[in-house]
């Protein structure tokens, strides 16, 4: 009787272990992870801000003050839209803050840049401020007190800075702050728009952390308004490009479909067409053939994944680089186990699973980025290590 009972139990345990092992291997190959819960501070809204909106000829600057126990209130001030405004950004996880000066919006950036300065690129931070901050400190882009120290260097953010994480507001204001400091030092921060920035500008915020629903409600807004057409950060994002060439290197969130080359679409044209539709939800038939190719949620530059699906061979990729007079291309969007190079060190894929500010996961995550210095390429780790590619 005992033997009759334990034999099927043994079979069951063996089969279970095999199935669990297969599931774990499949999950790992698809970059799945197990989340171990969010830190309570992820949902803290007291101190959130500034939330800046255009109101006719003025600008309103709001902060959420108070606590759940004592009650919340909105501290709001109105300013002239042409004046510089001193503001402070609070990060609850380590009870820190930084100052930022909000100025009239800058014009649309150029699509082409030519200098001899180094380039550091990172992508897909997805609303994780601490991860971004600590990575930049480790690689001496900023100081411990968050001041630019990369000189004339180029910091390139290859899309998807927003959504998912609980620190989107802090992350965007840090980028904005560093833009100003980099310009003053002769350097440059490049914010390449990804598909999630486009989603937010079009009002699709279903991937945003649910923390931003009550925050918007406190402000008398919908969560889609936080990066909407009347939001300062929303208008700031709408000035950004979807593709740029910097020192001979292309940077684009998804990739460049070969048909963009066949249609002879220049970088300036791609950026102009995308920008015209940042506030309009794309659907087939919305625009003419060339514009639809640029806007496509499958083949557009902010969305394309064909390099990692075997859709582009080395000849087609070489033709793309030749048309845009580029040495290499760097993309995010398609998740990688590590920063990797393809097509003989001419395509760099830099979207990795960054650590979440408020969430611990298994397997543990580490940030990575890419450094281009002259003809040399390096995989950057979050402890400051540089590995030649």
CA distance 160 to 383: 23
- The residue with greater pLDDT, 363 or 27, is 363
* pLDDT(186) > 50: yes
- The residue with greater pLDDT, 51 or 364, is 51
* pLDDT(164) > 80: yes
Identify whether 40 is part of a domain.
Answer: no
Identify whether 21 is part of a domain.
Answer: no
> How long is the chain?
389
Identify whether 313 is part of a domain.
Answer: yes
Identify whether 93 is part of a domain.
Answer: no
What CATH number is associated with residue 125?
Answer: 3.60.21.10
Q: Helix 168-185 and helix 129-138: axis angle, to 10°?
A: 30
- The residue with greater pLDDT, 365 or 389, is 389
Average pLDDT, the chain: 92
Q: What is the pLDDT of residues 111-159, one digit of tens each?
A: 999 999 999 999 999 999 999 999 999 999 999 999 999 999 999 999 9
Give the predicted TM-score (pTM) of the model.
Answer: 0.92
How many domains is the chain built from? 1
User: pLDDT band at 355, cuts 50/70/90?
Assistant: very high
* pLDDT(4) > 60: no
Identify whether 154 is part of a domain.
Answer: yes
Identify whether 353 is part of a domain.
Answer: yes
Contact indicator for 317, 343 with CB cutoff of 8 Å: yes
**Backbone angle region of 160, left / alpha / beta, with phi > 0 → left and psi within -120 to 50 → alpha:** left
Identify whether 72 is part of a domain.
Answer: no
Residue 298 structure tokens: 């499958």
Identify whether 382 is part of a domain.
Answer: yes
Q: What is the pLDDT of residue 148?
A: 98
Structural domain boundaries, residue 230: 110-388
């Amino acid at each position: 009787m005992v033997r009759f009972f334990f034999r099927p139990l043994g079979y069951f345990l063996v089969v279970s272990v095999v199935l669990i092992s297969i599931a774990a291997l499949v999950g790992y190959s698809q970059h799945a992870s197990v989340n171990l819960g969010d830190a309570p501070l992820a949902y803290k809204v007291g101190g959130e801000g500034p939330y800046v909106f255009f109101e006719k000829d003025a600008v309103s600057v709001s902060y959420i003050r108070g606590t759940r126990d004592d009650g919340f209130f909105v501290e709001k001030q109105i300013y002239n839209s042409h004046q510089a405004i001193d503001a402070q950004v609070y990060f609850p996880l380590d009870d820190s803050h930084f100052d930022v000066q909000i100025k009239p919006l800058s014009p649309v950036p150029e699509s082409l840049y030519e200098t001899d300065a180094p380039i550091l690129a990172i992508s897909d931070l997805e609303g994780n401020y601490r991860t971004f901050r600590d990575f930049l400190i480790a690689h001496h882009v900023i100081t411990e007190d968050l001041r630019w120290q990369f000189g004339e260097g180029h910091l390139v953010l290859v899309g998807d800075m927003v959504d998912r994480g609980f620190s989107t507001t802090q992350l965007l204001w840090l980028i904005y702050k560093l833009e100003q400091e980099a310009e003053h030092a002769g350097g440059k921060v490049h914010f390449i728009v990804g598909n999630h920035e486009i989603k937010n500008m079009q009002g699709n915020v279903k991937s945003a952390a649910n923390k931003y629903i009550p925050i918007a409600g406190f402000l008398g807004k919908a969560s889609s308004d936080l990066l909407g057409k009347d939001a300062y950060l929303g208008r700031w994002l709408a000035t950004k490009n979807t593709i740029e060439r910097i020192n001979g290197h292309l940077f684009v969130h998804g990739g460049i479909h070969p048909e963009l080359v066949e249609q002879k679409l220049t970088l300036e044209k791609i950026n102009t067409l995308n920008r015209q539709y940042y506030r309009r939800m794309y659907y087939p038939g919305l625009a003419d053939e060339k514009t639809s190719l640029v806007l496509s949620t499958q083949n557009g530059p902010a969305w394309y994944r064909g390099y990692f699906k075997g859709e582009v061979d080395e000849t087609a990729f070489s033709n793309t680089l030749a048309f845009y007079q580029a040495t290499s291309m760097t993309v995010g969007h398609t998740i990688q186990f590590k920063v990797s190079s393809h097509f003989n060190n001419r395509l760099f894929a830099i979207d990795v699973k960054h650590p979440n500010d408020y969430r611990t996961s298994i397997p543990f995550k580490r940030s990575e980025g890419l450094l281009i210095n002259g003809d040399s390429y390096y995989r950057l780790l979050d402890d400051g290590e540089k590995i030649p590619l």
